[in-house]
């Protein structure tokens, strides 16, 4: 509750005084920092969790991947995803994969993001397709990817409003100022 209200100093003080911590307390602290954009703090608590030998779970990784996504930490995000899947054997869920698409997209690695999606069992899910569409920039280099993503989003979810804006229109909007300016 305190973390959601932004009282992170109080939360961390309480957390620091705890004599016994479980996944819930660690995850609450990590998510609190991540939610408020305190990425380095979230990652430090994650490292402390590992040192304490408390095993991270899917929620733990969702929090740190989300933090990496918002901070555009490509290498760290990919490292954590690999740690989650290969070391801890946690099967990535839709939300984990959306974070990876966002991380790749923010880094301008749209083809890698598209290839990542194509290998997923839920590669046609509107949420992941919508994320792919949202990370496409309004420029000609991402136009083909945006068109493919938009088409797939519309096939999966015909009522998706974002997918109804043609990617070429985005390029025109970005490059052409309104008349009279």
pLDDT in tens, 8-39: 788 888 888 999 999 999 999 999 999 888 99
The model carries a pTM of: 0.83
Q: What percent of the chain has pLDDT over 70?
A: 85
pLDDT tier for residue 176 given thresholds of 50, 70 and 90? very low
Do both 65 and 9 map to the same domain? yes
Contact between 126 and 160 under an 8 Å Cβ cutoff? The reply is yes
Measure CA 68 to chain center. Answer: 7
Flag whether 107 is in a domain. Answer: no
- Burial pattern 79-109, b for ≥16 Cβ within 10 A else e, equals ebbebbeeeeebebeeebbbbbbbbbbbbeb
Does residue 119 lie within any of the structural domains?
yes
| Range(s) of the domain holding residue 129 | 112-181
Q: Which of 61, 92, 123 is the last residue of a domain?
A: 92
- Residue at 12 is within a domain: yes
Q: In this predicted structure, which of 60-69, 121-130, 155-164, 170-179 has the lowest mean pLDDT? A: 170-179
The whole-angstrom distance between residue 171's C-alpha and the CA centroid of its chain comes to 25
pLDDT (tens digit per residue) in 151-170:
888 888 777 666 666 554 54
| Cα-based distances in Å from 125 to 22, 93, 95, 143, 147 | 33, 12, 11, 21, 16
Structure tokens at 17: 């005084």
Domain total in the chain? 2
User: Could you give phi then psi for residue 46, rounded to 5 degrees?
Assistant: -60, -45
Of 39, 57, 92, the domain-final residue: 92
Check whether residue 117 and residue 78 sit in a common domain.
Answer: no
């Amino acid at each position: 509750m305190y973390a959601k209200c932004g009282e992170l100093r109080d939360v961390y003080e309480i957390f620091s005084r705890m004599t016994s911590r479980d996944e819930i307390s660690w995850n609450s602290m990590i998510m609190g920092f991540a939610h408020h954009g305190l990425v380095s703090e979230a990652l430090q608590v994650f490292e402390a969790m590992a040192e304490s030998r408390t095993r991270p779970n899917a929620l733990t990784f969702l929090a740190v991947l989300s933090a990496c996504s918002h901070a555009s930490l490509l290498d760290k995000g990919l490292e954590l995803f690999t740690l989650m899947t290969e070391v801890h054997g946690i099967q990535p869920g839709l939300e984990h994969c959306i974070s990876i698409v966002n991380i790749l997209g923010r880094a301008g690695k749209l083809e890698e993001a598209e290839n990542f999606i194509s290998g997923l069992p839920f590669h046609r899910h509107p949420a992941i397709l919508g994320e792919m569409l949202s990370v496409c920039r309004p420029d000609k280099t991402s136009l083909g990817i945006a068109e493919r993503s938009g088409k797939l989003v519309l096939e999966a979810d015909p009522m998706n409003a974002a997918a109804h804006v043609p990617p070429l229109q985005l390029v025109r909007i970005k490059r052409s100022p309104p008349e009279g300016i």
